[in-house]
Structure 1
């Protein structure tokens, strides 16, 4: 059973309720930190620095986790337990039961340790909840937070937002699920004006008290239903980002689900609802007029005029509808933070898209090769496929329990062929057979093969054989990568490497 994060019976326990700044009385607080990855390590290190007594547990016992464990012991962890048995129950902390569990976002709510903690009445926080509570520190500026979530586009939007904020002269950083834990940013000597915080549904599930300046759900589609126990739970956790927002709840005006999220959110008095749309914007929206991004929300005469912010061409080297939508959301968040209109244009022009997100890799014999390994679900792959005409599609991987029928039906006519990678493709194969029966399907590896690099090498050779002049070979798998690769980045790097080798052989 999935438990809502705010159902914990000890949410208002006096000591925990009073821990709302770095300078609060953290000394001696007994905490179990579940997970020793990037966010777990940051949480444990922070709590130790605050004077808490910390035991860290992690279900893996590898060279990497042992190295992190050694570091935490050196800085003062009360204990570090590694291996599968370490996370089967909630351990004592120096002979007494813990007062708090801080969990890494990857652990499901029904994980044995978390389920045991909930049953015992021990409060559970995520690393973002901890970060929010320690963000205020005597003698240091408190940064504002603008928070971004959505099924797709989070990392792009958080990067755009930070770039726009910096273009306005503010000290800003992109943090959170984007790679740099919020806790690490808070402990840096830099005094940030604003943090652009990317939040996953996992992180939001365990966040109770955050009150951002502005927040956005970019879009919502079926994803991570295995973790959340269903789409409704997943959407509910995404919607948590709007709770207690102070200035602007930014929403996708072209998606009714995000509109409802804002309508149902419990926000602070004075908070506005600000939409973004790819169409001509209504009052209190940002949108597109001809090839311009315009603002009808953050100006006095929003009923009778609009402010020009940027052009569609400013949104990236390969402008796409979802890229423009991300830019509009970023602009709305930054405008809520008070930046002038020209900073939107300058920030978008200065922003550099990350690797593995519609990354143009090469052109050979009239065929364009594009790496979109970040497309880890059908919604992201839909956006990628929509950007091109005739496509040889490299797809497949861990499906996370989602359906591919709508994706394949929508894009069947643009598919020259499909090259399959991954080990969990029954759903994708069924959708292709139903909606694109005439499209050639080319398996790139033996069923169950875990050698992703070898599979990708074969996939690129197959795609080269299938592509014709004017085609795009698009690696947008619509699935997670961990069956054959260590991460989506590893998968993308393997694709890029094989394409570069192919180009060199053909030149």
Structure 2
């Protein structure tokens, strides 16, 4: 099963182990079972939810082992893993010893393309530390505006397996890929791909920044038309230089400044293209206005330029770029305006789960009362605090690793008032909003951009954002 093209016959009777239940494990198990493979699912957890999922799979003839994710089932010929399983898991060590290959769900999807005899849809792929989901959704909106049949899939929460094997026929797919997914996916070859930015993140999973960057760089391998990089982030350009691409594939930069040849950028409030024009030395094509980007924060304009570059690489007309950006609406909890209360603006950026995302958010407002804290995931905060210190009216901290931010503030912004709530319960958010309101003055922005993951207090960043929005609305009701 080492080739790119895999037929149904190749799977008949193959013993495949799926590592992990969840949004990618369950579809993988069902697809493989449908192809005739002998499927065993192993899962570390053995809770009520896992047992319910296991019962559904077992009813379809799939074996499920709960609470035993370390042991390699006998006769396993292939492991298909969910993205969250770390490479140092004992299961993978056992697989390496036995010569059993490990694929991710993205690898499986890539190899199953064209099973029905149809020409597979090309992939326009996006990765980066921050902005992936927004950029992929912007890209899908632009492609739709061009009249193309498309979908935003992958790490965005929509199974790539469903997209490549479903009844819907697509002209092109907008694919979000995480570093986890790329780690387990050596074969995919995108039409064009973008790395938006690179900053330390998930180092506990990858083991080092170098390993994290290397996995991100896999997205460029085998690109046929364009490798899109961030001019302001030299690491992304270096990954393009290192990539083994198809002959004729071009390096395309995006920048918030005026673009050079083979770049997209911004001139006098206009997004312009000097890459996909007849004369790159002397010509620039207007694509859209900065005002067409929602919201027009600097990092979101960068997302829009990256999406536009991928769309233009696919041959999309300038008017569709403009219309797609105008039609796009950002997901909740991404720099979302909640309310204005007593002259103070309240912004929910719960999606800012790392320092790089929080940095972009903090750069968009001034002055700020910053609500921060949660699970640091091995991050440090000195650089973040140094960069935003001059914008801070005050800071409210909560969550398990808030002391790391407090210590960075003491070192680099000792004059900024800090309220340390010393709480990790979900009710802390209501108190945080009240403390922020006390610190804020009319004209300020209260920004909830935690720079940390949410799982110490909330199920996910969505729940954290909802708690913030609820607390702000309660404050507004009292002030009315």
**TM-score where L is the length of structure 1:** 0.93
2: distance between equivalents of 1:72 and 1:437?
56
Check conservation: 2:372, 2:402, Cα contact below 8 A.
Answer: no
Matched, 1:377 2:337: no
Q: CA deviation at 1:63?
A: 2.3
Match of 1:231 in 2: 209
Aligned counterpart in structure 1 of residue 325 of structure 2, from 329, 348, 353: 348
Q: CA deviation at 1:65?
A: 1.5
Unmatched 5+ stretches in structure 1: 1-15
Match of 1:281 in 2: 259
SS for the counterpart of 1:72 is helix
Check conservation: 1:225, 1:231, Cα contact below 8 A.
Answer: yes
Output one character per residue of 1:424-458: Cα deviation in whole Å (capped at 9) or x when no partner. 22321221110011212212343xx3x22x11111
2: distance between equivalents of 1:180 and 1:444?
37
Match of 1:405 in 2: 382
Matched, 1:437 2:414: yes
Matched, 1:62 2:39: no
Match of 1:26 in 2: 11
Matched, 1:463 2:463: no
Check conservation: 2:371, 2:447, Cα contact below 8 A.
Answer: yes
2: distance between equivalents of 1:414 and 1:485?
28
Judging changes above 3 Å, is the alpha-carbon distance between structure 1 residues 347 and 119 closer, same or farther for their aligned structure 2 residues? same
Check conservation: 1:19, 1:26, Cα contact below 8 A.
Answer: no
Q: How does 1:4-403 map to 2 (within 5 A)?
A: 16-18=1-3, 20-21=5-6, 23=8, 25-77=10-62, 79-83=63-67, 86-92=68-74, 97-316=75-294, 318-403=295-380
SS for the counterpart of 1:172 is coil
Check conservation: 1:404, 1:428, Cα contact below 8 A.
Answer: yes
Q: CA deviation at 1:75?
A: 2.0
Check conservation: 1:389, 1:471, Cα contact below 8 A.
Answer: yes
2: distance between equivalents of 1:142 and 1:240?
21
User: Which segment is superposed worse, 55-64 or 197-206?
Assistant: 55-64
SS for the counterpart of 2:10 is coil
Unmatched 5+ stretches in structure 2: none
Output one character per residue of 1:159-209: Cα deviation in whole Å (capped at 9) or x when no partner. 000000000000111111111111122232110111111111111100110
Check conservation: 1:141, 1:193, Cα contact below 8 A.
Answer: no
Output one character per residue of 1:365-413: Cα deviation in whole Å (capped at 9) or x when no partner. 1100000000011000000000000111010111111111110001111
**TM-score where L is the length of structure 2:** 0.98
Q: CA deviation at 1:23?
A: 4.1
Q: CA deviation at 1:285?
A: 0.8
SS for the counterpart of 1:87 is coil
2: distance between equivalents of 1:459 and 1:261?
41
Match of 1:505 in 2: 478
SS for the counterpart of 1:310 is strand
RMSD value over aligned CA atoms? 1.2
Judging changes above 3 Å, is the alpha-carbon distance between structure 1 residues 430 and 499 closer, same or farther for their aligned structure 2 residues? same
2: distance between equivalents of 1:315 and 1:21?
42
SS for the counterpart of 1:499 is helix
SS for the counterpart of 1:407 is helix
Check conservation: 1:147, 1:216, Cα contact below 8 A.
Answer: yes
2: distance between equivalents of 1:298 and 1:146?
16
Match of 2:468 in 1: 495
2: distance between equivalents of 1:157 and 1:197?
10
SS for the counterpart of 1:17 is coil
1: distance between equivalents of 2:430 and 2:96?
46
Check conservation: 1:88, 1:112, Cα contact below 8 A.
Answer: yes
Matched, 1:419 2:396: yes
2: distance between equivalents of 1:51 and 1:468?
65
Q: CA deviation at 1:24?
A: 5.3
Q: CA deviation at 1:123?
A: 0.6
Matched, 1:476 2:449: yes
SS for the counterpart of 1:197 is strand
Matched residue count? 480
Check conservation: 2:112, 2:165, Cα contact below 8 A.
Answer: no
